[in-house]
Amino acid sequence: MINLELVNRVGNLFRSQIAELGYELEIQSEFRDLAAIAESYKHDITPHFHPATNTFFWSEAFWIAVKHDDKVIGYCAAKRQDVGNEGLLAYNLRYWERTYGSPDAPVVFEEQQSRELAKITGKLIYSGAWYMSKDHRNSHIGKLLGQYVQCHAFAEWRDTDYFYIFMDSNDVGTGLGAALELKDQVVDALHWRECPAPAKPNYWLLGCSREWFEDWLMRKLVRHDRSAKASKE
């Protein structure tokens, strides 16, 4: 179990920084609302969080609305995946074939896949459906949101073994991947013979274990306390 007091303290630090920039966060459970907002931005949230392919219990998924002047200008989502001993790789191959494939255009993966994904087992958190409107992408809010969603997800599901996201190489190249400070980085995490729309052919997997994340929380808290002390001197 993750240290709830620690993860909440650091999560509140991120939330305070977000508020100082003029934004507020709202935790939501109704994914039909997320789909409607995404459609207004012409953003595809993919089948992983779309209500057409998922009917989540409120206890197994959430999404975060970022609001500015009472308008939702960004969002991201997270869901729980208890893959047990099957592992993330085997589960993903089954899940992506169902959610992205169709009778006319089945998803066919290559036989050779990343061994790193096969090592990821147990209780997982997957985060996706990340979006920030163009007018707010240079406001530092994206990085803070990405770090806050990790805190909220681990606080929500304290027994999680591993947190991960998929990010295409273009977004990694912008520096967003590094900004999230996730320890593990697997290049070309999935391999298929033909890339199924709207998936991308060049996903990275970025992730971290609960143990590493808890150490990261401590580093964040120590850094903040030192900064606060220095500003008072």
pLDDT, residue 230, reads 59
pLDDT, residue 121, reads 96
For residue 233, pLDDT over 60 is answered with: no
The 10s digit of each residue's pLDDT in 40-71 is 999 988 889 999 888 999 999 999 999 999 99
The 10s digit of each residue's pLDDT in 171-215 is 888 777 888 889 999 999 988 888 777 788 889 999 999 999 999
| CA distance linking residue 213 with residue 59, whole number of Å | 22
pLDDT, residue 231, reads 59
Tell me the average pLDDT across 123-152.
Answer: 91
pLDDT, residue 140, reads 86
pLDDT, residue 228, reads 60
Q: What pTM does this model have?
A: 0.92
**Residue 103: band (very low, low, confident or very high) from pLDDT cuts 50, 70, 90:** confident
